[in-house]
Amino acid sequence: MMGGLRADELRPERSRTFAFGGLSPGLALVLALVLVQAGVSGVTALDNGLALTPTMGWLHWERFTCNVDCMEDPENCISEQLFMQMAELMVSEGWKDVGYEYVCIDDCWLAPQRDKDGRLQADPKRFPRGIRHLANYVHSKGLKLGIYQDVGTLTCAGYPGSFGYYDIDAETFADWGVDLLKFDGCYAKDLKSLVEGYKYMSYALNKTGRSILYSCEWPLYMRPYQQPNYTEIRQYCNHWRNYGDIFDSWSSVKNILAWTAFHQKSLVPAAGPGGWNDPDMLVIGNFGLSWDQQITQMALWAIMAAPLFMSNDLRNISPQSKALLQNKDVIAINQDPLGKQGYRLRKDEVFEVWQRPLSNLAWAVAVLNQREIGGPGTYTISTTDLGEGLGCAPACLITQILPVKKELGLYEWTSQLKVRVNPTGTVLLKLQTFQQDKFPVISP
């Protein structure tokens, strides 16, 4: 079990202490006064009409990290070329058609200093035409542009943060035509300024009048000090990270799932149209996950109603990973309009069963084999246990979605469902409940 994690366990690669040093008490006071004057606490900032289903797009961090060395590695450094190439491929390779819409810049896009008017500026070598030009390009492809900043004095990688500049930064992003802001939580002075900063930025974005989706890491940074209040967070953010950064490995995916299941009582009710728990990027198509583990990530991110941000190299991805990421049936589960997050129903030594209620009396069910030894395992479950007792009452049609699509047929309320699941793999199913009055006539 993963309860009681310390901050440094959440983020092994970086200390999570609030390192805010340089800020004068005067500046802090000014911010506090501005917050009060702005009436931040009363603002329902998230009446922004965005993220009615989980956001879909591409985000550079996991795959390209803070690679700023364009001399040595021009193809993979964080530069306008990288994002333009991804935008182009998102259209030409069918990603946009299946719903991936936001092309997102993460940390390390900035010049080391603000300009003379206090405005942020992109690194002039790597983004020679600036972010507005990139936004125009991305928009010309029918896509949206995301950008990254931080609530504290510095971004996590040490570039200028937004503290003390929330309004001016929000206006700059709106001016440039940015459509999403990922707002990180490094280098905030203390819990109070972290929370107030997240709220204030939400307000500042709203005030620009531009629709800018707001992606937060507020609960992740807050949890070591205090239980996050999700009712409050939902009012300000379109999605929020709860747990440490994803890595390109099975152990990372496994930890995220275990942590989410352990906290599902508080997480699941928090999710819904307009606001989602964010278990971090999809690493499908990279180096660290086996084929079965990629299936598990895709299936479980659909069950969790997670934002789907791929962090991979769209220039170089296997047809198999591409087909998985573009699987319309899985995406339909992720994007289901009912907007309810799924949860872990049960777990034994070997198997975990997760389920998610869907619109039109349907359910998604995922059976995950946690064993890391041996071959495929068989799991049997009574259909009375699925869909909170009603998934197959009085009967249901079951379709296997992953690993391959196949109709499993009609099941009654008291049927036994048997699936075979590869080690660290998942079988994803969709159950279509038949209502009494629409029960199909089956000829003898």
Least distance between ligand GAL and beta carbon 435 (Å): 43
CA–CA separation, 75 and 72 (whole Å): 9
**157 scored as a contact of ligand GAL (CB under 6 A):** yes
What is the token pair recorded at 23? 């800020």
Is there binding between residue 245 and ligand GAL (CB under 6 A)? yes
In terms of CB distance, is 147 or 421 closer to ligand GAL?
A: 147
| Distance in angstroms (rounded) separating the CA atoms of residues 29 and 33 | 6
Residue 314 and residue 90 in contact, taking contact as beta carbons nearer than 8 Å:
yes
Burial grade of 317 (CB within 10 A; 0-12, 13-18, 19 or more): middle
Q: Which of 80/184 has CB closer to ligand GAL?
A: 184
The least distance separating ligand GAL from the CB of residue 239, rounded to whole angstroms, comes to: 12
Per annotation, catalytic residue among 106, 107, 150, 184? 184
CB-nearer residue toward ligand GAL: 221 or 379? 221
> Per-residue b/e over 105-129, b at no fewer than 16 CB within 10 Å?
bbbbbbbeebeeeeebbbbeebbee
Number of H helices, E strands in the chain: 15, 16
Is residue 178 involved in binding ligand GAL (CB under 6 A)?
no
- Which residues pair with residue 368 across a beta bridge? 352, 426
**For ligand GAL, the closer CB: 234 or 241:** 241
φ/ψ of residue 325, rounded to 5: -65, -25
Give the span between the Cα atoms of 143 and 272, in whole angstroms: 24
Q: Is residue 156 a contact point for ligand GAL (CB under 6 A)? A: yes
Tell whether residue 123 is a contact of ligand GAL (CB under 6 A).
Answer: no
- Residue 134 lies near ligand GAL (rule: CB under 6 A): no
Considering the candidates 245, 248, 278, 313, report the single residue annotated as catalytic: 245
CB of 157 to ligand GAL, least distance (A): 4
| Closest approach of ligand GAL to the CB of residue 103, in Å | 15
3-state helix, strand, coil in the chain (%, to 5): 35, 20, 45
Active site residue 292: no
Least distance in Å: CB of 159 to ligand GAL?
9
Instruction: Give the residue carrying structure tokens 């079988």.
Output: 427
Catalytic annotation present for 123 = no
- How many binding residues for ligand GAL (CB under 6 A)? 10
Q: Are 59 and 310 in contact (CB under 8 A)?
A: yes
Q: Does 106 interact with ligand GAL (rule: CB under 6 A)?
A: yes
Contacts of 316 (CB under 8 A, 6+ apart): none
Binding ligand GAL (rule: CB under 6 A), the pick from 80, 167, 184, 352 is: 184
167 binds ligand GAL (CB under 6 A): no
Q: Provide the minimum distance between the beta carbon of 63 and ligand GAL in the complex, in angstroms, as a whole number.
A: 12
Site string for ligand GAL, 58-77 (x = CB under 6 A): ---x----------------
CB atoms within 10 A of CB 68: 17
Burial string for 48-63 (b: 16+ CB within 10 Å, else e) reads: bebbebbbbbbbbbbb
- Considering beta carbons, is residue 61 or 351 the nearer one to ligand GAL? 61
Q: Does 282 bind ligand GAL (CB under 6 A)?
A: no
Residue ranges binding ligand GAL (CB under 6 A): 61, 106-107, 155-157, 184, 186, 217, 245
Please identify every residue annotated as catalytic. Answer: 184, 245
